[in-house]
Structure 1
Amino acid sequence: MQPLKGIVLKLVAVTCFITMTSLIKATAGHVPPGQSVFFRSFFALPVILGWLAVRGDLRTGWRTQRPMAHVWRGLIGTTAMGCGFAGLAFLPLPEVTALQYATPILVVVFAGMFLNEKVGVFRLSAVGLGMVGVLIVLEPRVTTLGADTVAVTEAVGAMIVIFGATCAALAQVHIRNMVREEQTSAIVFWFTITSTLLSLLTLPFGWAWPSGAEAGMLILAGVLGGFGQIFLTSCYRFADASVVAPFDYASMIFALAIGYFIFAEVPTPQMLLGAGIVILAGVIIILRERHLGLKRGKARAAKSIES
């Protein structure tokens, strides 16, 4: 294990993803979310194929024994991506980022529901704390609902982002089940394919003809998304998930900076408070997972000695 290298790769992945999201936001006023999903997926494909070629997995890395599992992962994941992109047209970048932090918290709940993972009082308490943070972020959107058209639009945008975060959590739980039999490279490859194809279903609902600048930003978003996925996958080769997971929250620092300097978005104290609580809950869950993982490792080691 090389934890420092893993952390650096995770930070590079986070940087790729938040830059990708910023590019999507810059075009969100004109380009529909389904079209953004297409660019994000289609132009990530050459990067993914190049990665497989470098690894020597171009002939075998995409093979699967469970094609329908990839279809369901594609449906759920593409919905999550589309909802996240749709929310960028209505809400500030830091707020969208904060609401999407609900995903790792919901993963704990869904893992208990669908994978029969044991979820104790400690982690349930952290989940509850995280939900309080989400509600604090949401509260201004809910209480001003109906005040005017802008308020209604922002409230709808917030609900779309939360729905997307829920779908993302379901997708992650589904992936946990898939990795028992499927290669990581196959999961990445087929998601890119399915999200590209599924995004084309939104074509009849009206795609916009992007300007040269918009097309360039959308293509770059796809390329960055592909590289981000590779760096994210690679970081787990050098460090445990519990070591690199907290660095997901560096995206809030980047989102605040980009939102302020690029989009002139000034975060409210309430949004920052809610985001801080969600991040705290996420870190608590990560630390608990690490503690339980260490206990399981010691138990296995003791059992092997006894036997």
Structure 2
Amino acid sequence: MAPHAPRLPLIAFAVASLGIAIFSSMDAVMKGLVLALGAYNALTWRTMAGIVASGVPYALSRPKRPSREAMRLHLVRAAVSAVMAFLFFWGLGRVPMAQAIALSFIAPIIALFLAAWLLRERITRVTIIATALAFAGVLLILWGQAQAELGHDAFLGAIAILVSAVCYAWNIILMRQQSLVAGPMEVSFYQSLFISLAFLLAAPWLLELPAIDHVPALALAAILATASLFLLSWAYARAEANYLAPTEYTGFLWATLWGWVVFGESVSFFTVAGAALIVGGCIIAARRRDHAPVADTEAQI
């Protein structure tokens, strides 16, 4: 086994890239559902379908009872993910896919500041420069949005995605912690279960039964989400977060492709240039450290 050990991070990188590709494809399916059903109903029915999609293989694996620490992380990440997902998909229904994904790239930069707050890490001059570069990218995308006259709803959608990125920054930390105390099947099942329960709290007022013709898309979205979560959990258990973080940026290519093919969306120069600035800022910030923000302090959160 030892001679093959150096290959494991490369395999994890490839698996994480596949997970992002599948997740981006799920975004395209979900955008159509959000436009048809609304963000709340699309997410609630998808996550409930996800309980079945993830629960069957999990049950067949004859799982052991999760540890107390694992259950705590499942609950915390589910709460964060519920807010993150609702804001992202609500925004996705109002802005082009490529723009939404580009704005979400600010999450790794935000993660550095969350690490400083939660883990008392030092904010360096390089971090400040990287943040300024990424912030300039966000402003450029919003400027392009204004020039394109996409309307007030698109601006609110962009703001929702930026707030979702804050949640995703915390989610990055939680995903790494979670993958070290629970297997991919367990993570997939409990995330679907707890996120569904969170959304169902509002069911008496908001939940509506979808038309039968939306069921295949809901099932497909649940399967894609489960597969992506399984692959990413597997990868993050075998490589550090900072090594796998660049795979997130491949999502821009998939979002551009699906936005064009499915929704006829074009990508503006402002979105591409803004994404380049944000990614550049993230790369500069990542070069200042040798490990993930929580790789050696995971028990502190």
Scaled by the length of structure 2, what TM-score is found? 0.83
Asked if the contact 1:107/1:169 (under 8 Å) is kept, the reply is yes
Question: Residue in 2 aligned with 1:305?
Answer: none
Over the matched positions of the two proteins, sequence identity in percent amounts to 20
Quick one: structure 1 residues 74 and 244, their matched pair in 2 at CA, closer, same or farther if it must change by over 3 Å? closer
What SS does the aligned partner of 1:220 have?
A: helix
> Which residue identity does 2:152 align to in structure 1?
V
Query: 1:245 deviation in Å?
Result: 2.0
Q: Distance between the aligned counterparts of 1:187 and 1:209, measured in 2?
A: 27
Matched, 1:132 2:146: no
Matched, 1:86 2:113: no
Matched, 1:10 2:16: yes
Query: 1:68 deviation in Å?
Result: 5.6
Q: Distance between the aligned counterparts of 2:245 and 2:69, measured in 1?
A: 29
What SS does the aligned partner of 2:112 have?
A: helix
Quick one: structure 1 residues 236 and 76, their matched pair in 2 at CA, closer, same or farther if it must change by over 3 Å? closer
2:36 to 30, 34, 59: 30
Question: Residue in 2 aligned with 1:97?
Answer: 101
Q: Distance between the aligned counterparts of 2:232 and 2:32, measured in 1?
A: 24
Q: Distance between the aligned counterparts of 1:101 and 1:284, measured in 2?
A: 14
> Which residue identity does 1:19 align to in structure 2?
S
Query: CA-to-partner distance for each residue in 1:82-119, whole Å, 9 max, x for gaps?
Result: 01111121111111111111111111111101221233
Query: 1:105-254 alignment to 2 at 5 Å?
Result: 105-141=109-145, 151-173=151-173, 182-183=181-182, 188-254=188-254
Q: Distance between the aligned counterparts of 1:154 and 1:284, measured in 2?
A: 30
Matched, 1:58 2:63: yes
Q: Distance between the aligned counterparts of 2:234 and 2:171, measured in 1?
A: 20
Unaligned stretches of 5+ in structure 1?
A: 298-307
1:44 to 30, 41, 50: 50
Quick one: structure 1 residues 69 and 241, their matched pair in 2 at CA, closer, same or farther if it must change by over 3 Å? closer
Q: Matched residue pairs, number?
A: 287
Asked if the contact 2:187/2:230 (under 8 Å) is kept, the reply is no
Q: Distance between the aligned counterparts of 1:170 and 1:241, measured in 2?
A: 12
Asked if the contact 1:40/1:223 (under 8 Å) is kept, the reply is no
Asked if the contact 2:19/2:232 (under 8 Å) is kept, the reply is yes
Instruction: Tell which deviates more after alignment, 210-219 or 12-21.
Output: 210-219
Q: Distance between the aligned counterparts of 2:146 and 2:202, measured in 1?
A: 29
Question: Residue in 1 aligned with 2:299?
Answer: none
Structure with higher Rg: it is 1
Question: Residue in 2 aligned with 1:300?
Answer: none
Asked if the contact 1:40/1:218 (under 8 Å) is kept, the reply is yes
Unaligned stretches of 5+ in structure 2?
A: 297-301
> Which residue identity does 1:279 align to in structure 2?
V
Instruction: Tell which deviates more after alignment, 166-175 or 117-126.
Output: 166-175
Q: Distance between the aligned counterparts of 2:105 and 2:118, measured in 1?
A: 21
Asked if the contact 2:179/2:234 (under 8 Å) is kept, the reply is no
Scaled by the length of structure 1, what TM-score is found? 0.82
Query: CA-to-partner distance for each residue in 1:186-211, whole Å, 9 max, x for gaps?
Result: 55543322210111133344344433
Asked if the contact 1:32/1:207 (under 8 Å) is kept, the reply is no
